[in-house]
Structure 1
Amino acid sequence: MASALPLAQTDPDPGFAELLAARPHLSMHAHDGLTVEEVPLARIAADAGTPTWVYSAGALRRRARALKAALDGAGLRASVHYAVKANTSLAVLRVLAAEGLGADVVSEGELRAARAAGIPGAEIVFSGVGKTERELRLALDEDIAQINLESAEEAETLSALAASLGRTARVALRVNPDVDARTHAKITTGRSENKFGVAIADAPALYARLAALPGLEPVGVATHIGSQITSGMAAYRAAYARLAELVQALRAAGLPVQHIDCGGGLGIPYRDEPAPSPEALAGAIKATLGPLGLPVMLEPGRWIAGPPGLLLASVVLQKQGGASSPGRRFLVLDAAMNDLVRPAMYEAWHGILPVAPRDFVAPLSPADVVGPVCETGDTFARGRALPSLQPGALVAFLDAGAYGAAMSSTYNMRPLAAEVMVDGARFAVTRPRQTHDDLLGRDRLPDWLREASP
């Protein structure tokens, strides 16, 4: 999940002070350097090593409360279900659960994580186009709030399973409104050519079919038009207006609709691009869906978890360009595309701040920021204005709390990074760094290879 921002910009990048000012959970101290809440990142690096994901509990709380306040301020009856796919850390989920957020899950693993973090089944929504029978059975066992059905075929499967178990599944029909959210092509989900949901023209007949199938209780309609939406409210308004028309048609046919699932997708400013506010989204919902008088559900992920997280990395070396590229500078880090894949996959832009106070005010020059993975695509930024950083110097990638650790891999046999939660003046490792023994321990040699001499 990502924005379409390129690695290098033609417009001037925001300066360190601008990036810092827009992120109130971060500060620069003359002695301690870059600090999350009250904990210096240098202290975290000394304790947990690098690369390490660092999450601010305070920032998570503030963003959850801000979204809920915006919805309340618009007079909406709304429930918020955090999109677990953005960040699956149990510590993150526990903080959000304590703020009264439910969960939106798309797999068995995410459902189990939400439950392990203390989120009740009654506050969990299960989305996704390819739920297996095993996953549907677990959703029924946990008696979750709602299963979002995305096809007639899935409805038939769930009906047969629920009926065989003597259960009734509460379901919503996810519709595809054929609205372009004007986000990255890989994360748009509401256009007719996308794999998600059913065509809105087919929805009335299928909703009536759901009401007739055994084991199913249709409770509403759902949509989700994409991720990292920063182009304003026009796409949301268009999609929600079509949902409103659908609800009116269902009511006219005598079919029950208890609530509307509005999805998520609200974007964040990774660089300095304008991004809509929760108040703007709440206003769009009120204007289009408010007259229906129904409760609404939201499924934010990136907007909640993105800014509170960062990736802490160390400089391995600075490499100067050769004769064919004089003056070119490569800043090689111990973090790589297997840790933070968004720049390699989407050419996404992340702010990069030096951690040491002396580096924060040192002279700047262009640098290509890269990792050690054997891919040219293992590039975080090109021509980024950064100080000269010696081996061991620390840098922080900003706004990495969403789709950072959740999308990381062990490519090149690189262990998964550690994860740390900061809460005021305290911090703790919430997911230990994977070891090479952990990686090798996953493999099993068949008997005929174990017995053979290498």
Structure 2
Amino acid sequence: MNPVPYLWRVLSRALVKKSHVWQQASSLRDPDLWDCTVSTAGHLCVADFDCVELANNYGSPLLVVNYQRLLKDIGQMMGAMRQAPEGSKVLYSYKTNCIPALLQVLHENGLGAEVISPYELWVAHKLNVPGDKLVYNGVDKSDESLRLAVTMDVLAVNVDHREEVQRIVQAAKDVGRRARVGVRLGLSNSSQFGLSVDSGEAMEVCREIIAHEKWLDLCCVHFSVTSNAKDSWIHRINAEKALAFISCLQQELDIQIEYLDIGGGYGVPTTKNMSGVEYGLYRTFGCLPKPADPLMFQAIDLFIGEIVAAVQVSCMELGLKIPKLLIEPGRFITSRSEILLAKVLSVKTKPNGTRFLITDAGRLSMTFPAEFEYHELFVANRMQATMNTNYQVMGRICTSADWLAKNRLLPEAQPGDIIAVMDAGAYFSSYSSTFAFPRPAIVGVDNGKISVLRSPESFEYLTELDHF
């Protein structure tokens, strides 16, 4: 007998068993972490609305935005930024969740916009975001969008690669207006984004920008190097590197930079990115990693405070005027405020004992972030039931690649159950696709009211541009 398959199965069972222990002990089993409650019927409720009734009334799958949680997280971030230099700004990352009705709420509460595509810039323009509260990032900026950005007098068009400089110059000439620009620093050699500091590329691009000072105003240095960080150390280290570059700009080109754009990556305590090892074990053995521990995440006021302090110290050491700070949070602002509700369509038990839980929302259409992030799952109609059954939680596309979670411990399930996927406010709707099914509705709940933020797509809508 070949011992390798046997040892593989033994190892897999042991890892999954360990994962089940983690899942049962997880502090994420408390719905209050998302400002949710449990009704006397044992149903998950958002802003006093029963999730089961929401799914029945508005269809499944369904994305539900909890405005109470959203406003709380906005308030925490805006409060933390009071420590930053006067004139600093919070710019919401549109790529995280680009639902116009939700973005409108963010802007009404003081947030600006960080956009990465012509489409997102167009949305910001439609929402009347002031130019001085808008940064245009991204690697694929069309000429038309560059002209719009210059016309809007955006705070900065951040140059990601040197070929963009001449195109921004031309856009400024076309509009007849000087463009405010920044440079994105490539502080990681493993990433395709930004301009390399070590090779001298970033400095050469800055020289080229200065050579066109009639049309370009270099006012910003930008970096973004991490995602869902638990604490501030990566941001602090890279802020110091960016400030050293700004010091070189001041010495060599005799210019002062008004804004230091520290990018995004501010984590939330109720989800986490998998490490390389965790991801490898999950994909290889189906071992769902240890859940996020909310106590291990730095409070956002301390997170931002440490960044501000590091910037102040570095500027003093380098003899720099302290720049205004820009931050581009996405996940921290919206992750906890949105929940995905999905219906169980079928439960299948194979002869080898493997149980498949078939839902109407899977990795290939709604939940791609769940591939590399830990997300808590509840059975919304039986919140007090015991977690005692192992499931491969699948989607509805005809491929084994369409899974939501592997070896997930849940109460014994049955068709019609409603699965609640928490922290669906970061990238779920952005990554959602029309692979074989239309995209679902999105509703917002607050103060006893339900508002439809997006209607469910129809077959006719999906084929509107097609020629039969």
TM-score by length of 1: 0.87
CA distance in 2, matches of 1:284, 1:76: 17
Point out where structure 2 has 5 or more consecutive residues left out of the alignment: 1-14, 272-290, 316-320
Say whether the 8 Å CA contact 2:85–2:324 is kept in structure 1.
Answer: no
Are 2:184 and 1:164 aligned?
no
User: How far is 1:32 from its partner?
Assistant: 6.7
**Alignment partner, residue 348 of structure 2:** 319
- Among candidates 194, 213, 221, match of residue 197 of structure 1: 194
Question: Equivalences for 1:32-43 in 2 at 5 Å?
Answer: 33-43=43-53
Aligned residue number for residue 427 of structure 1: 450
1:352 aligned partner? 377
Match of 1:337 in 2: 363
Pair 307,363 (structure 1): closer, same or farther in 2 beyond 3 Å? closer
Structure 1 residue 118 displacement after superposition = 4.0
Match of 1:184 in 2: none
Measured on the aligned residues, the alpha-carbon RMSD in Å equals: 2.3
- Shift in Å, 1:121: 2.7
Change (3 A) 1:16 1:33: farther
Change (3 A) 1:211 1:119: same
| Alpha-carbon distance between aligned partners in 2 of 1:24 and 1:397, rounded to the nearest angstrom | 11
Q: Quick one: structure 1 residues 359 and 275, their matched pair in 2 at CA, closer, same or farther if it must change by over 3 Å?
A: closer
Deviation at 1:42, TM superposition (A): 1.9
| Residue 272 of structure 1: aligned partner | 292
Cα shift readout 1:194-245 (whole Å, capped 9, x = no counterpart): 2211112423343232122141111121111132223x33322221111111
SS in 2 for 1:218: strand
Gaps of 5+ in 1: 1-5, 178-190, 446-454
Alignment correspondent of 1:252: 251
Count of residue pairs brought into register by the alignment:
420
Give the 3-state SS of the residue equivalent to 2:33 in structure 1: coil
1:8 and 1:444 map into 2 onto residues whose CA distance is 53
Residue aligning to 2:186: 176
Structure 2 CA distance for partners of 1:244 and 1:217, relative to 1, 3 Å: same
Alpha carbons of structure 1 residues 192 and 347: separation in structure 2 relative to 1, 3 Å: closer
Q: Hey, what's the Cα distance between the residues in 2 that align with 1:216 and 1:280? A: 36
Q: Which amino acid aligns with 2:466?
A: D
Aligned 8 A contact 2:151 2:177 in 1: no
1:300 pairs with 2:325: no
Q: Name the aligned partner's letter for residue 116 of structure 1.
A: K
Q: Distance in 2 between matches of 1:95 and 1:339?
A: 26
Contact kept in structure 2, 1:315 and 1:333, CA below 8 Å: yes
Rounded to whole Å, the distance in 2 between the matches of 1:19 and 1:69 is 28
Within the candidate set 97, 109, 114, 2:119 is matched to 109
Equivalent residue in structure 2 for 1:89, among 94, 99, 109: 99
Separation in structure 1 between the aligned mates of residue 261 and residue 462 of structure 2, nearest angstrom: 40
CA contact (8 A) 1:314 1:333 kept: yes
**Partner residue in 1 for 2:3:** none
TM superposition shift of 1:14:
5.1
CA 1:363 to 1:261, structure 2 compared with 1: closer, same or farther past 3 Å? closer
Once the two structures are overlaid, the 10-residue window that deviates more, 71-80 or 384-393, is 71-80
Deviation of the 1:17 alpha carbon: 7.0
Q: Which moved more, 1:108-117 or 1:54-63?
A: 108-117
1:420–1:428 contact (8 Å) kept in structure 2: yes
Identity %: 27
1:32–1:40 CA contact under 8 A, matched in 2:
no
TM-score in terms of structure 2 length:
0.84
The verdict on how the C-alpha distance between 1:48 and 1:17 changes in structure 2, with shifts beyond 3 A counting, is: farther
Query: What displacement does 1:304 show?
Result: 1.0
Cα distance between partner residues in 2 of 1:258 and 1:343:
35
Asked if the contact 2:361/2:404 (under 8 Å) is kept, the reply is: no
SS at match of 2:217: strand
Q: Residue type matched to 2:403 in 1?
A: T
- The within-5 A match list for 1:349-428 is 349-356=374-381, 358-362=382-386, 364-411=388-435, 413-428=436-451
Letter in 2 for 1:278: I
- CA distance in 2 between counterparts of 1:333 and 1:424 reads 30
